[in-house]
Structure 1
Amino acid sequence: MAVDRDQVLRSAAALLTRKSTATMDEVAKAAGLSRATLHRHFAGRDALVRALESLGIAECEAALDAARPDEGPAADAVRRLVRELQPSAALLAFLYTENQLFEGERQNEGWERLDARLTALFRRGQERGEFRIDLTPAWLTEALYGLLASGAWSVSEGRVARNDFTHMIAELLLGGALRKE
């Protein structure tokens, strides 16, 4: 029986976003696999998390492409971006808590690409006078990641309606970032 790696990753992501401490046995069960089959594809939790990281980065890059961050007002681009990121937000929330992904020499270059693109969006908003200049583009990028993670957790816990995700995150971020006349 052929194993659909993408489906295994999506099953693992769904479980780990609800229960970040899930064991490999629990991941295998959620994916409908034996533990041995899971281990043939992912040698351990670190390998699985690294594969999820690659998936998360790819989904973020696709969301950025779809959001067209260079078009129109930067605030509108941020709103489009949050809307495009919503389907991946739970996976990003899980990855956000995996500190080993952001430490040392094994850091995936994809995060730097994402950071550069997001920072450029916020910088464009500053240069056009839309966003405050006392908040650095790097800080606005980190704030966006944090709000996405918090929003995903709130939706998964039922504290926020899924349909309110985009509005609540974009407006909270922009409420602090927009330049007041």
Structure 2
Amino acid sequence: MKTTALSENSAILAPLALALVNQPRATLQELATAIGISKTTLYRFCPTRELLVKRLLDQSLRTLDDALDEALIDEGPVLEALRRLNAKHLEHREFTLFLTYYWNEVDKPVEETAAWEPKVDAFFLRGQQEGVFRIDFSAATLTELWLGTLIALIDGERRGRIPRAALAQLAEQALLHGVIRKD
């Protein structure tokens, strides 16, 4: 890969995000090896670990904000919107994991980084108003349940406990139906 292509192509950031989650104490040399590039290429792309983490945090926040917008959760039937929301976030599982593990290093105020929360809350409120989601939990609670479920499933897949192919269906089923046995 050419260095100029690397700096213009954020695709390298997803494998780096996952490598940092899997090897949190890895050196830049070890990270370069883990994603199949040379140490020199990685150093040109990001000369310090601190800069790499910052760049990954910024990219993760941007990517997941974009995924939320692309899910079009204000459009169409609520359950279809939920499926799109899950699918878009699963497409970027590396960034979700990175934010989960490195959230404490975000240097922006929480209100600024969590701008997506009101959008997802509004989505769950719409679902409640349309009679799709239960109303004994607040919309904010449903947002937290959705996010926690998604993060746990993505991490379980990363650790080899859950097959990747089942993630979207598991996320939907766990959120909508819980784990109670239905006879």
The letter of the residue matching 1:10 is A
2:101 is aligned with 1:97: yes
Identify if the C-alpha distance between structure 1 residues 136 and 50 changes in structure 2 by more than 3 Å, giving closer, same or farther. Answer: farther
2:13 is aligned with 1:9: yes
Tell me which stretches of 4 or more aligned residues in structure 1 moved more than 6 Å. Answer: none
**TM-score normalised per structure 2:** 0.78
Q: 1:46 maps to what in 2?
A: 50
**TM-score normalised per structure 1:** 0.79
Deviation for aligned residue 1:110: 5.8
Is the contact made by 1:75 and 1:174 (CA closer than 8 Å) also made in structure 2? no
Q: Of the candidates 23, 31, 47, which is equivalent to residue 27 of structure 1?
A: 31
Deviations 1:146-177 (A, max 9, x none): 2222111222222222111000011111225x
Which aligned pairs between 1:136-151 and structure 2 lie closer than 5 A? 136-151=138-153
Q: 2:181 maps to what in 1?
A: none
SS at match of 1:133: coil
Q: Distance in 1 between matches of 2:141 and 2:52?
A: 29
Q: 1:85 maps to what in 2?
A: 89
> What percentage of aligned pairs have identical amino acids?
30
Q: Which runs of 5+ in 2 are unaligned?
A: 179-183
Identify if the C-alpha distance between structure 1 residues 110 and 73 changes in structure 2 by more than 3 Å, giving closer, same or farther. Answer: farther
Is the contact made by 2:3 and 2:45 (CA closer than 8 Å) also made in structure 1? no
Q: 1:122 maps to what in 2?
A: 124
Deviation for aligned residue 1:81: 0.9
Shifted more, 37-46 versus 18-27: the winner is: 37-46
2:166 is aligned with 1:164: yes
2:169 is aligned with 1:152: no
Deviation for aligned residue 1:109: 6.0
Identify if the C-alpha distance between structure 1 residues 97 and 10 changes in structure 2 by more than 3 Å, giving closer, same or farther. Answer: closer
Number of aligned residue pairs: give it: 173
Identify if the C-alpha distance between structure 1 residues 2 and 98 changes in structure 2 by more than 3 Å, giving closer, same or farther. Answer: closer
The letter of the residue matching 1:169 is A
What is the RMSD computed on CA atoms of the aligned residues? 2.6
Q: Which runs of 5+ in 1 are unaligned?
A: 177-181
Is the contact made by 1:119 and 1:137 (CA closer than 8 Å) also made in structure 2? yes
The letter of the residue matching 2:91 is P
